[in-house]
Chains A and B, each alone.
Chain A
Amino acid sequence: MTSNVSAGRTGNPTSRVEENVQNSSATPQTAPLLSVRDLKVQIPTPGGTLEAVRGVNFDLNPGEVLGLVGESGSGKSVTLRALLKLHRAPIRVSGEVYYGGENLLTLPENRLRSVRGGQISMIFQEPMTALNPVLTVGQQILENLLEHKHLRGKAALERASELLDLTGIPSPRARLNDYPHQFSGGMRQRAMIAIALASEPKLLLADEPTTALDVTIQDQILRLLLRLRDTLSMSVILVTHDLGVVAQACDRVAVMYGGRLMETAGVNALFGGPRHAYTVGLLSSLPDVGAHRQPLRPIPGGPPDLRNLPAGCAFAPRCTYVTGACLGVEPPLQSVEPGHDSACIHHDQLGQLNSSHLPSSTLPSSALEGPL
């Protein structure tokens, strides 16, 4: 992949996207589909520059479902949109997003357009507003088929109806002629998925796709996404603040806080043994359905002001386990176990906590080092 990367920067730029895409699908599963390096997004505001994303690094393997979780304002959606270079000036995006051997952030707009929709598709949180109200669902699917698959006429119609069928909409042929307002919320989300998948993308970016739906529909949509991931062998980045969704749908999780990745791990490793204090706090703030009813344990405080971040770990002001070492330099994201990265100084102690099977939230903070 690295040779592809350097090749992508030199030489004839035309047709390289297609070439490298084929390369990447032919390479073994270890080569990442998408590599994000030091991604930064800065939003100038009247009150100073807002550092929405501050150096995010991750790799996404083919066929993998990566969950990007965090509180509101942690930079999840901003990261997702930056991957496709959707931010407009005056928002500044820097870093590298390698897809198929090319840095998407430096691609010229016209070639980026063939990647958008064609290679990487996106679905949105609000199925009520993300469909164009004046075009029928069929027209919207056909438009994507024409743009990226150059399908038209009867063949396109056939394919569009197949896609609706694939997403589980009954009598798809007839529903092609319906307008979005004739669909229910869950069906609109299915229709949106059908539109996004018409171009058979290699990667689907899902921005809180189930947040606006009720729990049963949410479950159906997640199952649908996982089934489509298998049948179409695509990767998914699932942005959500719902840890239940992550547990159900994701292979790997990246926890975001204050514009940085705090912890990345396989889903079992993360839920079984979190190695970052923030993740520990997130998990212990979840209500437990089966257990005796008791007050929730929220993380004290609120999300940090991204215009005025504290020196050191961004989570330190709210952290139960904070020590002097947390306040100096921002701890980097480093490997603590194979496939498990954490940006917490105390990842060792947190690991011991987990192995001793103590509920982390009931443990006095003095078990680590005394709070300041």
Chain B
Amino acid sequence: MTTALPSSPARVRPKWRSLKPTLLIGTVLLLILLLAALFPQLFTPYSPTDFDYTAILSSPNLKHPFGTDNFGRDIFSRVIFGTRIDLQIAVFTTAFPFVFGTLLGALSGFQGRWLDALVGRVADLVVVFPFLVLVIAIVAVLGPGLNNMFLAVSAVGWVSYWRLTRGEVLAQKKAEYAQAAQVLGYSPARVLLRHILPNAVTPAVVYLMTDMSLGILLGASLGYLGLGAQPPTPEWGVMVADGKNFMVTAWWIGTFPGLALTLAGVTFSLIGDGLADALRPKS
């Protein structure tokens, strides 16, 4: 049903030129990040975890453009290989909260009554704690590591999506097209999923992009605190933590992963901004 109808004249497809510059730049940056995450070998000949005792703490040079750390590991390859880890963090810290929070928000906004009341109280319970404190507490209980971090963030992060989608569904279900769908005899599930949700999901999608950059920063923060990725995993936050001891003598160890973090954050923010513009209903 959702596919384009046959025998239609050529669809007016948005040309890349008509995209907002923010969305365009963000997409290009994301493609570069994805390329680095999928094929890190293309960018660098070194392994991210191999020690090279002949080149310890060497400053950036032609052989090692970002220098090496105290074990002689090539910072550039660690940054490149770290892309995969940190993009994973971005996806895994947001995928479950987005899907679960959005669906639950749609349901409680649409159904209301006891479901809304129940989920609302649970959400209150989650948000009374500061976000980071709660995540750290859960990780501390479960034990450090990437998987436990994903669990902790998922347990807390869905609330934002729930709230955004619930509010939007509450507004949209009063819209005449939603009533019209009900009048046409469609089932409540169809009215919600096919008619209301596509009109209500935009804020959640835009927030997803912001949340991805927050997720990377969160992953890095937890890595920095030793609760996320564990050494020798080339995760940017862990690398910044490693570099802090050498900040005065070897600035490159912590600086380049930090710049990579910034770049990833900017990428998702640009896409988020661009999407917010592009998805804003035009009339």
Contacts and interface: CB of A to CB of B under 8 A. Distances in A.
Nearest to A122: B183
Contact of A157 (B6, B180, B198): B6
B8 A195 contact: no
Interface in A126-156: 126, 128-136, 138-139, 142-144, 146-148
Interface string B139-154: 0000000000000000
B279 to A, nearest CB: 10
A152 to B, nearest CB: 9
Contacts of B179: 86, 124, 130
Contacts of A126: 176
Contacts of B9: 174, 177
A133 B199 CA distance: 8
Interface string B180-213: 1111111100000011001100000000000000
Interface in A70-87: 84, 86
A130 B7 contact: no
A86 B181 CA distance: 12
A139 B182 CA distance: 16
Given A134-B198, A143-B186, A181-B283, A129 B175 contact: yes
B180 A122 contact: yes
Given A132-B199, A133-B281, A181-B282, A192 B183 contact: no
A181 B281 CA distance: 10
A115 B5 contact: no
Interface residues of B, number: 28
Given A129-B177, A181-B282, A192-B180, A138 B185 contact: no
A143 B1 contact: yes
A121 interface: yes
A94 to B, nearest CB: 21
B204 to A, nearest CB: 15
A344 interface: no
A117 B177 contact: no
Contact of A84 (B176, B183, B281): B183
B4 interface: yes
B169 to A, nearest CB: 14
A92 interface: no
Given A124-B180, A130-B180, A147 B186 contact: yes
A131 B1 contact: no
Contacts of A129: 175-177
Contact of A144 (B177, B184, B198): B184
B11 interface: yes
B249 interface: no
A83 to B, nearest CB: 11
A114 interface: yes
A200 B280 CA distance: 35
B18 interface: no
A117 B185 contact: yes
A192 B6 CA distance: 22
A143 B180 CA distance: 12
8 contacts: A121-B184, A129-B176, A130-B180, A132-B180, A134-B198, A139-B1, A157-B5, A177-B4
Given A177-B11, A192-B180, 13 more contacts: A86-B183, A112-B185, A113-B185, A115-B185, A117-B184, A117-B186, A131-B180, A139-B2, A143-B1, A157-B5, A157-B6, A174-B9, A196-B184
What 8 A-B pairs come out closest when comparing CB atoms?
A117-B185, A117-B184, A116-B185, A130-B176, A113-B185, A122-B183, A132-B177, A134-B198
